[in-house]
Structure 1
Amino acid sequence: MNVKVLSMVKQAELFERWRRMQVCRWEINETEAKAFKSYLSRCCNAPSFLFTTQKNTPLGTKLKYEVDSSGTYNINSEIFKMFPKDMPYSRTQFKKCAVIGNGGILKSSGCGREIDSMDFVFRCNLPPISEKYVLDVGFKTDIVTINPSIIADRFHKLEKWRRPFYTALQAYENASVVLPAFYNTRNTDVSFRVKYVLDDFESQQSVYFFHPQYLLNASRFWSNQGVRAKRLSSGLMLVTAALELCHEVHLYGFWAFPMNPSGIFITHHYYDNVKPRPGFHAMPSEIFKFLHMHSKGVLRVHTGTCS
């Protein structure tokens, strides 16, 4: 399943190829996976540079933004204290990891128990994981990303009442919260407010900020791999990190089409009734790449039901 060929086939033909592939039992291809991880490591080095830390971003650093390349942020003592001393996962490689997208293909999947059995679970953009959805999406969460636009839209930039935001995060228990504070200048203050809020409420949840150079390197890496987008999706950011931090990577909820491989129409997200729509990210391009990587045994894409 070559990614360039996939991008040119009709949707029905793609689905048929994918269904035929499901007949075979997936196993990680150690050689292909190791080669891909090695290539990715030379580019991005998540164990050292995924988040801003006191080690990789010393006090006084003029940190360049990912997209506002002419802008910098001076790391003063107050901000420096927000950073962990070193990368929290630099000395551990997790055996099995799940990266959970929020696609409607997860609805009625029954994959919750399988997801919860993983050694490490990444989730994107504060999705609901209540009892209503737990059978399909599970509960376990080790990292959850939050796009600052969510803080602005759902929690009024944390400029007034902050308890609703704190309460929403409690569903994730001790999961670490990750934000792209240095993606652009608009993201910075609202990302810092998340840290202040959790500190004020004496939360045990850690708050980390993606290192802008890591995200820029990851964007270049995927562009060279044929993924074209104005910006990487949160899901692809986490898949990129997981490929370095984990031995075996499993994707759930990643699907960019209005119907599942069986031809049944699905919603945009597992938690709403909105139809899929074209957006800012190159979702079909990302999915093509994931399917190609699945076929080579680099990672596994789950699109069906779980036993």
Structure 2
Amino acid sequence: MTLEFRTWLFGIVIILVIFLILVDISKVEEEIGIPEGRDSREGVVSSLQSKSSRDAAADRESTSRTGVSDSNSSIVPAAPEWRFNKDLSISIRERTMNISENLYRLLPSSPPLKKQHFKRCAIVGNSGILLNSGCGAEIDSHDFVIRCNLAPVEEYSRDVGLRTGLVTMNPSVVQRAFEDLVSEAWREKLLQRLRGLSGSVLWIPAFMSKGGEDRVECVNDLILKHHLDVQTAFPSLRLLHAVRGYWLTNKVLIKRPTTGLLMYTLATRFCDEIHLYGFWPFPQDQDGNPVKYHYYDSLTYEYTSQSSPHTMPLEFKTLSSLHQQGALKLHIGECDARL
């Protein structure tokens, strides 16, 4: 290839490149509306300013007709004048700031079980499987005892024991077990049960479900008025979500964790060896004998109902698997009478 031919070919390539660049510039100018023959940079600035001015003018025209801009016309109503609605503001604040003075006074300054650790813990469920079990002494022999929903112990001590380190109290318990404190007699019955805790942690899930605020307030009032020796704890709703999330992550498809499963999960944080009593979500025992839902009342429950917020048989299956693996001890039936 001669030098003259290479020079000629190189010149053609240069011309094509310049042509393509000019075509691209022309297309860009056409897209953004730069008038033909003006400097590109000047045209861009001018075009953007012109477009901004046109948009502003259009917005002002639209606003003058409708009272709002087109972009917000579907969500912002026209209003001739804004005025502060004090009554509505107070109403919203009262609905969101639902912590009473009594509850605030009972909030612990630090977690009641902070820096505490126990070798052997017992978690006592409320199934009727405990009746005639004779497990009371064995339960009381543990270093720490957790009970559920303020279940009575004195009249059932042979089967369920007496010691309590922590006891839960769902707000619904006040309604179901103490008749919503409709009389002084029921208030006194609840008061006696709270006095029996003598230094225990009273776990009140006041924030875990809607409703029940009045019942929680009644309990708080009794504690303060009578200077009861209890350590109150008010768990966050986030704990419920965290516990459920933990089990779901481990492929245990529970709905809302029962109090028993919640307490077991909690106990794994401060107990080495965990023993479960009164966990039996079935209407009959292993020999076919009827078993009460609660050992202390006549309440009935449909364990397999789709409308139930809990999945008790599934939880029990999970706990049984952990029992077989040695992670916990599930006690069913009679206990050793020698203890």
Give the structure-2-normalised TM-score. 0.64
Match for residue 146 of structure 1 among 169, 180, 183? 169
Q: Which residue of 1 aligns with 2:116?
A: 92
C-alpha contact (below 8 Å) 1:130/1:171 kept by paired residues: no
Match for residue 130 of structure 1 among 154, 179, 202? 154
Q: Which residue of 2 aligns with 1:290?
A: 319
1:248/1:268 CA distance change after superposition, 3 Å: same
Question: How far apart, in 2, do the equivalents of 1:189 and 1:275 lie?
Answer: 26
Question: How far apart, in 2, do the equivalents of 1:121 and 1:273 lie?
Answer: 25
User: What is the root-mean-square deviation of aligned Cα atoms in Å?
Assistant: 2.3
More deviation, 257-266/154-163: 154-163
Q: Which residue of 1 aligns with 2:65?
A: none
Q: Which residue of 1 aligns with 2:242?
A: 217
The Cα of 1:74 is off from its aligned counterpart by 6.6
Question: How far apart, in 2, do the equivalents of 1:91 and 1:275 lie?
Answer: 39
Question: How far apart, in 2, do the equivalents of 1:262 and 1:100 lie?
Answer: 22
C-alpha contact (below 8 Å) 1:99/1:238 kept by paired residues: yes
Letter in structure 1 aligned against 2:335: C
**Structure 2: 5+ residue stretches without partners:** 1-94
Question: How far apart, in 1, do the equivalents of 2:180 and 2:289 lie?
Answer: 38
If asked which structure has higher relative contact order (CA below 8 Å, sep 6+), I would say 1
Match for residue 251 of structure 1 among 271, 276, 293? 276
Answer 1 or 2: which has greater helix percent: 2
1:284/1:114 CA distance change after superposition, 3 Å: same
Question: 2:289 aligned with 1:271, yes or no?
Answer: no
C-alpha contact (below 8 Å) 2:194/2:228 kept by paired residues: no
1:111-130 equivalence runs, <5 A: 111-130=135-154
The Cα of 1:208 is off from its aligned counterpart by 1.3
CA deviation digits over 1:50-90, x for unaligned, max 9? xxxxxxxxxxxxxxxxxxxxx85476876543211111212
Question: How far apart, in 2, do the equivalents of 1:152 and 1:306 lie?
Answer: 33
C-alpha contact (below 8 Å) 1:181/1:209 kept by paired residues: yes
When Rg is computed on C-alpha atoms for both structures, the one with the higher figure is 2
The Cα of 1:164 is off from its aligned counterpart by 2.9
Paired-residue identity, %: 36
Question: 2:208 aligned with 1:208, yes or no?
Answer: no
Question: 2:322 aligned with 1:302, yes or no?
Answer: no
Letter in structure 2 aligned against 1:107: L
1:81/1:169 CA distance change after superposition, 3 Å: closer
**Structure 1: 5+ residue stretches without partners:** 1-70
Give the structure-1-normalised TM-score. 0.70
The SS at the match of 1:280 is: coil
Question: How far apart, in 1, do the equivalents of 2:252 and 2:180 lie?
Answer: 32
C-alpha contact (below 8 Å) 2:112/2:231 kept by paired residues: no
CA deviation digits over 1:210-259, x for unaligned, max 9? 12211211121122234444422111111111111101100000011122
Q: Which residue of 2 aligns with 1:58?
A: none
C-alpha contact (below 8 Å) 2:203/2:234 kept by paired residues: yes
The Cα of 1:269 is off from its aligned counterpart by 1.9
C-alpha contact (below 8 Å) 1:258/1:275 kept by paired residues: no
